[in-house]
Chains A and B, each alone.
Chain A
């Protein structure tokens, strides 16, 4: 029994989700199922918080401060998605009870992934979440775009899993181990085969975090998938993938940091620059957010490249603020309705300021925050990332990052411009969804007021970073 307490939250989530799946079969009240799943996710988060740090299953599963922090973030992201789902489900034709359950299975996969300390455990978790995500992306069966996005995601995802497995086999072949700690203890520094393995695993994981040049799927999938699913993509899986990417590199290859740091630095620079320029021409807000998320991954990877305490701390802070800002933006996107039809073009935002000045200023400040303008939360995310970069003497990375942030501020400003300066178009429908309003106000409140009392989030960063250094 003792060993199972280590994965108690995962077991709880698994059993209750399975139970709900069966209940749903007979009792098709989507709302109730959604609510139950929501409470299960919250309960799981509570379980995670109160779990002692430990490891087990031959050290292939670890519960440390880092994984606990990430898990809570993932569960918050998933729970927020469920809040986004409930008011929009009828309209987007995804009114089926499997949605919340798929979300909770995906979260389960991510939790396993984040805690895994073994290549195989990592792969199992990764596949569980990926399969759930493929289904989620194509959930709107009547929409061509949604199906397209599901297929695209599936094919490219399968390719990346292939790359990942190929890399795993190399690593196993050249070290004889799949456990991160054992790999780190036994590897041969000059082994070329091992290096090939690292490169392939990195490519596979870069695909999951959607870093350039493995980002091709992101814009199409974001645009095609039903909006709550897009929100989910932006919130949870990215955080999980970043976390496992970090653990894989730090735990198994901590001593050859110089080798993989080059890869991460390249991914980071490429993502920041590419996203900054590619997003300028976008007119669909979901697509724009896809490019924006690619850019943010670039900044997160700076933190990962640093390989020190400040690096992880800044990465965690950035992830938390990224989560908050995305919740704010996506809950607003789901409120953009005209005559009961969803609007996705950014030009539809024009005149928001005439009709709903309060919402306009909040969404505009969220945009400024995404652009990293002080005193909003996004600035502090970038600030800590650059702190760690300069501490690690990555001056070039910091300069490229900061220039890219100026370029990228242009497309965020464009949204502000449309809201405030352009000729007003028609009024949106009333923003009367309670759950979306709740999400929107809480998240944008954090975005705006973060600078007054930043210590809690900074402390979380400290807490999580202690795991590795």
Chain B
């Protein structure tokens, strides 16, 4: 097939960008150079990921663009590949990183160079997670991303940044170390850490239970599910805008991806055994965090809690073991990656101008910022799952699948949609509508051209996936089918 090691290029290009950045001197005059370099490198990476997407064979459910090199011995190799489940996440990542860099043009006041380096490093780690076909390599990227994120929140964050970043780091680390032990256990059990081999392997029931719990410990913190979500609002509130965008847009999806790729496929018996617990936790998450979101005074916190609720739909969908459920979960993740990222960007726009995220401090922005109000509206509607936006497709498929499993769960989950509408519209009304009475808002400026460039692709994607989701579903479908076949094959 394709001779070019294109996935390695995706992985290495940001590193080359880092090297380029280290050669640019670090003073205020070269700030523009730094930003331009990072932006173009990440944009180039986006183009390359599109090349991968267009050359991707949609009918083939197996891993494509496979690369395999000797790494740690014969059985642990540098093994890359994408399939229908992972490729969209790769594109999502490469799509969001240039947007993040563009969004950081003016609000990072110091150490631009280090900031961009951290972001590009983070990009490598995130792409690596999705394209690894070796568990050890996966773990390396999965946890390595903590280092740049720790620095991004800790250096460029808000007032309580140190508390938040430590909480983020230690919480995530504590969860994922158990996964490391599980990975090692699987290695000795099967004799390799290659994901395609492990996917076919049938573990004994007892082993599955333990391994599933170990993986769960990692993913439950990362996704995050109630009651392990408390790090997320803190991290979101204190992170710089772009940090929140990447956190909500990509980092939360690592765990959802992990659930699909590892938990349900490798340990199907254990997954069925624990499915009721997942349903319960997800539904609690959906209702409970939606209620919490209703009483928030900080915009970022509200969106952070809504993320937890939306991720509840993702876990619900995954653990129904139906094609609608899995597809819905993936679409929901992609959609949430775009929409929540955009919402954080919307918060960032007004924060850059007024320097507060308190909802009470705003009101009547529609009078001064029509373009902003329009974009914000699209994303708010997508977030609450209005038909015609990307949010609807995912939520609808997930609800459909959960109906086929249990009607009561479906009823509870649906209340989440109503609650989402409540808090989202409440937020929108408070900020956008009403009289423009606060003095400092009277001369607030509408979106600049840079911000328009950021929002246009996000709006287009949101509507496109919402109105015509077939191309996306076509990519996801074969691999999801294969996953279900593997699961059913092991269950019998």
**Contact surface of A with B, Cβ cutoff 8 Å:** 353, 357, 361, 364-365, 368, 373-375, 379-380, 383, 386-387, 390-391, 395, 398-399, 402-403, 405-406, 409-410, 413, 416-417, 420-421, 451, 454-455, 458
In the assembly, what is the distance between CA of A412 and CA of B146, in Å?
A: 14
Residues of B within 8 A of A364 (CB): 151
Task: Tell me the smallest distance from the CB of B144 to a CB of chain A, in Å.
Answer: 5
Q: List 21 A-B contacts (CB under 8 A).
A: A357-B114, A361-B114, A373-B173, A374-B139, A374-B143, A375-B140, A379-B143, A383-B184, A386-B184, A387-B188, A390-B185, A398-B181, A398-B184, A399-B178, A402-B178, A402-B181, A409-B170, A417-B154, A451-B140, A454-B72, A458-B73
Chain B residues within 8 Å of A410, by CB = 166, 170
Contact of B151 among A383, A391, A420, A451 (CB under 8 A): A420
**B154 to A420, Cβ gap below 8 A?**
yes
In the bound complex, do residue B181 and residue A391 qualify as a contact, i.e. CB atoms below 8 Å apart? no
Q: Would B169 and A391 count as touching, CB distance under 8 A?
A: no
Given the complex of chains A and B, what is the CA–CA distance between A391 and B178 in angstroms?
16
Using known A-B contacts A383-B180, A390-B185, A390-B188, determine if residue A368 contacts B147 with beta carbons closer than 8 Å: yes
Q: Judging by beta carbons under 8 Å apart, are B147 and A373 in contact?
A: yes
Chain B residues near A405 (CB-CB < 8 A): 177
Known: A375-B140, A420-B154. A458 touches B72 (CB 8 A): yes
What is the interface of chain B, defined by CB distance below 8 A to chain A?
26, 70-73, 111, 113-114, 136, 139-141, 143-144, 146-147, 150-151, 154-155, 161-162, 165-166, 169-170, 173-174, 177-178, 180-181, 184-185, 187-188
B127 to chain A, nearest CB (A): 14
Q: What residues of chain A lie closer than 8 Å to B151, measured between beta carbons? A: 364, 416, 420
Set of chain A residues within 8 Å of B150, measured between Cβ atoms: 413, 416
Q: Which residue of A lies closest to B174 (CB)?
A: A406
Residues in chain A near residue B181, CB distance under 8 A: 386, 390, 395, 398-399, 402
Main secondary structure of the interface of A (DSSP, over half): helix
CB-CB under 8 A from A413, the residues of chain B are 150, 166, 169-170
Which 10 A-B residue pairings sit nearest by Cβ, starting from the closest? A374-B140, A402-B177, A390-B184, A374-B144, A375-B144, A406-B174, A375-B140, A421-B154, A374-B143, A421-B162
Give the complex CA separation of A391 and B139 in angstroms.
19
Q: Within the complex, what minimum Cβ distance (angstroms) separates B222 from chain A?
A: 15
Interface of B is mostly: helix
CB neighbours (8 Å) of A395 from chain B are 181
A361, A364, A387, A398 interface centre (most CB from chain B within 10 Å): A387
Q: Smallest Cβ distance from B9 to chain A, in angstroms? A: 16
Could you say which residues of chain A place their CB within 8 Å of the CB of B162? Answer: 417, 421
Across-interface contacts of B169 in A (CB, < 8 A): 409, 413
Chain B hits for A458, CB < 8 A? 72-73
Q: Are B166 and A386 in contact (CB under 8 A)?
A: no
Could you say which of B73, B136, B165, B173 contacts A406, with CB atoms under 8 Å apart? B173
Complex Cα distance A152/B166, Å? 37
A379's contact among B140, B184, B185, by CB below 8 Å, is which?
A: B140
A62 CB, min distance to chain B CBs, angstroms: 28
Closest Cβ of chain B to A276, distance in Å, is 12
Residue in B closest to A387 when the chains form the complex, CB atoms: B184
Cα–Cα, bound, A409→B150 (Å): 13
**Could you tell me the distance between the alpha carbons of A56 and B169 in the complex, rounded to whole angstroms?**
54
Contacts of B154 in A (CB 8 A): 417, 420-421
Q: Are A373 and B170 in contact (CB under 8 A)?
A: no
> A409 contacts B71, CB within 8 Å?
no
Distance (whole angstroms) from the CB of B155 to the closest CB of chain A = 5
Q: Tell me whether B71 and A406 are in contact (CB under 8 A).
A: no
B167 → chain A closest CB, angstroms:
11
Q: Which residues of A contact B184 (CB under 8 A)?
A: 383, 386-387, 390, 398
Please give, as numbers and ranges, the residues of chain A lying within 8 Å of B170 by CB-CB distance: 406, 409-410, 413
Q: In the complex, what distance in Å separates the CA atom of A273 from the CA atom of B111?
A: 38
Chain A minimum-CB-distance residue to B173: A406
A340 to nearest B CB, angstroms? 28
CB of B207 to closest CB in A, whole Å:
12
CA distance A383 to B135 in the complex (A): 13
User: CB distance B161 to A373 under 8 Å?
Assistant: no
Residues of A within 8 A of B178 (CB): 399, 402
Q: Are B180 and A386 in contact (CB under 8 A)?
A: yes
A417 to B166, Cβ gap below 8 A?
yes
Q: Who on chain A is nearest to B114 by CB?
A: A357
Q: Which residues of A contact B144 (CB under 8 A)?
A: 373-375
Q: Which residues of B contact A379 (CB under 8 A)?
A: 140, 143
Among A361, A374, A420, A458, the one with the most B-chain Cβ atoms within 10 Å of its Cβ is A374
A76 and B178 CA atoms in complex are apart in Å by 35
Least Cβ distance of A397 to chain B in Å? 11
What residues of A have a CB within 8 angstroms of the CB of B177 in the complex? Answer: 402-403, 405-406
A432 to B143, CA, bound (A): 35
Q: Give the chain A neighbours of B70 by CB distance below 8 A.
A: 455
- CA of A390 to CA of B174 in the docked complex: distance in angstroms? 19
Taking the closest CB of chain A, its distance from the CB of B215, in whole angstroms, is 14
The complex places the Cα of A235 from the Cα of B185 at a distance, in Å, of 32
Known contacts: A383-B180, A421-B162. The answer to whether A373 contacts B188 by CB under 8 A is no
- CB-based nearest A residue for B139: A374
Complex CA gap A421/B110 in Å reads: 13
B63: min CB distance to chain A, Å: 22
**Nearest-Cβ distance from residue A104 to partner chain B, whole angstroms:** 36
In the complex, besides A353-B155, A413-B150, 4 extra interface pairs with C-beta distance below 8 angstroms are A374-B143, A406-B174, A410-B170, A420-B155
Q: How far is the CA of A126 from the CA of B72 in the complex (A)?
A: 36
Q: Which residues of B contact A406 (CB under 8 A)?
A: 170, 173-174, 177
Measured in the bound complex, the distance between the Cα atoms of B187 and A420 in whole Å is 37
Neighbouring A residues of B147 by C-beta, 8 Å = 365, 368, 373
Q: Whole-angstrom distance between the alpha carbons of A410 and B171 in the complex?
A: 11
Of chain A, the residue at the smallest CB distance from B70 is A455
User: Roughly how many angstroms separate A361 CA and B147 CA in the complex, as a whole number?
Assistant: 11
- Using A386-B184, A391-B188, A406-B173 as known contacts, say yes or no to A421 and B143 having CB atoms under 8 A apart: no
Q: Please, which residues of chain A bring their CB within 8 A of the CB of B187?
A: 387
State whether B72 touches A357 (Cβ < 8 A): no
Q: Contact: A373 with B143, CB < 8 Å?
A: yes
CA distance A386 to B183 in the complex (A): 11
Which of chain A's residues have a CB closer than 8 A to the CB of B161? 421
Partner of B26, one of A357, A390, A391: A357
Q: How far is the CB of B239 from chain A (nearest CB, A)?
A: 14
**CA gap between A421 and B162 in the complex, in Å:** 7
Residues of chain B lying within 8 A (CB to CB) of residue A353: 111, 114, 155
| Residues of chain A within 8 A of B111, CB atoms compared | 353, 357
With the chains together, A383 CA to B177 CA distance in Å? 10
* Residue in A373, A387, A454 whose CB lies within 8 Å of B146: A373
- Chain A positions within 8 Å of B146 at CB level: 373
Which chain A residue has the least Cβ–Cβ distance from B73?
Answer: A458
Within the complex, the shortest CB–CB distance from B484 to chain A, in Å, comes to 31
Nearest CB of chain A from residue B213's CB, rounded to whole Å: 12
B180 partner residues in chain A, CB cutoff 8 A: 383, 386, 402
Question: Considering the chains assembled together, what is the distance between the CA atoms of A246 and B374 in angstroms?
Answer: 71
CA distance A455 to B73 in the complex (A): 7
A409 neighbours in B (Cβ, 8 Å): 169-170, 173
For A380, the chain B residues whose CB sits under 8 A away are 72
Complex-state Cα separation, A406 to B113, whole angstroms: 30
The docked-state distance in angstroms from the alpha carbon of A386 to that of B166 is: 25
- How far is it, in angstroms, between the C-alpha of A420 and the C-alpha of B139 when the chains are bound? 26
Which chain B residue lies CB-closest to A451?
A: B140
Which residues from B are CB-within-8-Å of A387?
A: 184, 187-188
Q: How many angstroms from the CA of A164 to the CA of B166 in the assembled complex? A: 44
A410 CB to nearest chain B CB (Å): 7
Shortest Cβ distance from residue B317 to the other chain A in the assembled complex, whole angstroms:
30
Closest chain A CB from B276 CB (angstroms): 27
Assembly CA distance A413 to B172 (angstroms): 14
Residues of chain B lying within 8 A (CB to CB) of residue A373: 143-144, 146-147, 173
Kindly list chain B residues whose C-beta atoms are within 8 Å of the C-beta of A391: 188
